[in-house]
Amino acid sequence: MKIGITGATGHLGRLIVAKMKEKAATGDLVALVRSPQKAADLGIEAREADYDKPETLQRALDGIDTLLLISGSEVGKRAKQHQHIIDAAKQNGVQRIVYTSLLHADNTSVSLATEHRATEQALKASGIPHTNLRNGWYTENYTGSIPGALAGGAFIGSAGEGRISGATREDYAEAAVAVLTSEGHDGKVYELAGDEAFTLSEFAAELSRQTGREIPYKNLPEVEYAAALASFGIPEEMAKAIAGWDVSVSKGDLFDDSRQLSKLIGRPTTPLSVAVEDALKQAPKAG
């Protein structure tokens, strides 16, 4: 029973591969990656599979029974890219696909949802039994900004008092592993989010508590936040998109209290305090 994992050289994919190696025979796992060289340290078979090159996908999916399709990272290109791999899966007789989608993909205002909706529709049209893991925001989306916040003396955003049910990549990775290694998930849609929701003011308060510094949350109008991100070197279009996602947060679109993630992984999701603590340990100089 071969399980193919796309995005295996990415942050989430690496965590999933490590956890899958504890649950399944190494010989049953295949990393489906843009660059097999980059996958050399994963310790499992690696095959070239570039979403933009359908011929590589055809070869890569040979003999794969279950496919974990980790959504790609090239925003704007993904609907087509994901269609390529779904088509290749169909032609290769893949029996099951697990897809990492977006929380409330069917009705969220988050701009990213368009591509996830298209992929969920493509999966449905393929007729291949599948499961949609609609992942909420990674807590790392915020802990990643800690060094900048400490340097600038404030945590900035446009999320207002919107509550974010964030969970760590580790939590989402465990959910993917739980679904890949057990039965009864075909046709299901899981809305995955953290047990605990936080506003960015609460995030900044936790950061202040742990660092002993006063780091306030400064809420900015969307245009000003986008301009600030661009001034840090983020390309203008991406800066605008990120600011827009914060506006979606302000509307409550990243909130979910169904606790489906903790039910799937059989433990509470990682608390914000632990995620902040881990991030500060990893960037000690920033503290």
Ligand X SMILES: NC(=O)c1ccc[n+]([C@@H]2O[C@H](COP(=O)([O-])OP(=O)(O)OC[C@H]3O[C@@H](n4cnc5c(N)ncnc54)[C@H](OP(=O)(O)O)[C@@H]3O)[C@@H](O)[C@H]2O)c1
Q: Is 117 in the site for ligand X (CB under 6 A)?
A: no
Q: Which of 100, 135, 138, 136 is nearest to 120 (CA)?
A: 100
Distances (CA, A) of 42 to 31, 126, 172, 176, 259: 8, 30, 19, 17, 31
**Residue whose tokens read 């169904």:** 258
Partners of 3 in the beta sheet?
A: 29, 66
Closest distance of CB 158 from ligand X, Å: 16
Binding mask 1-20 for ligand X (x = CB under 6 A): -----xx-xxxxx-------
Cα atoms in the 13 Å half-sphere on the side-chain side of 261: 28
CB 140, min distance to ligand X, A: 8
The minimum distance between CB 7 and ligand X, in angstroms, equals: 4
| Closer of 34 and 163 to ligand X (Cβ) | 34
Pick the closer one to ligand X by CB: 81 or 219. 81
The answer to whether 107 and 134 have CB atoms below 8 angstroms apart is no
As a whole number of angstroms, the distance between CA 41 and CA 159 comes to: 38
Residues 70, 56 contacting (CB under 8 angstroms): no
- By CB under 6 A, what part of segment 176-235 binds ligand X? none
Q: Does 162 bind ligand X (CB under 6 A)?
A: no
Assigned token pair, 46:
């690696």
- Residue 234 burial (10 A CB sphere; 0-12, 13-18, 19+): middle
Interface with ligand X (CB under 6 A), residue from 74, 106, 214, 237: 74
The backbone torsions φ and ψ at residue 26, rounded to the nearest 5 degrees and listed phi first, read -55, -35
Among 99, 137, 155, 217, binds ligand X (CB under 6 A): 137
Instruction: Report, in Å, the least distance between residue 214 CB and ligand X.
Output: 28
Of the pair 11, 21, the CB lying nearest ligand X is at 11
Which residue number, 68 or 220, has a Cβ lying nearer to ligand X?
68
41 DSSP assignment: G
Interface characters, 77-106, with ligand X (x: CB under 6 A) = ----x------------------x------
| Residue number of the CB atom closest to ligand X | 10
Give the pair of three-digit tokens for residue 131: 């499961």
Indicate which single residue of 26, 73, 91, 282 sits in contact with ligand X (rule: CB under 6 A).
73
Residue 66, C-beta contacts closer than 8 angstroms, at least 6 positions apart = 1, 2, 3, 4, 94, 95, 96, 97, 98, 180
| Least gap, CB of 183 to ligand X (angstroms) | 25
282 binds ligand X, rule: CB under 6 A: no
Contact between 55 and ligand X by CB under 6 A: the answer reads: no
By C-beta, is 56 or 219 nearer to ligand X?
Answer: 56
User: What is the contact surface with ligand X in residues (CB under 6 A)?
Assistant: 6-7, 9-13, 34-35, 38, 50-52, 70-74, 81, 100, 135, 137-138, 141
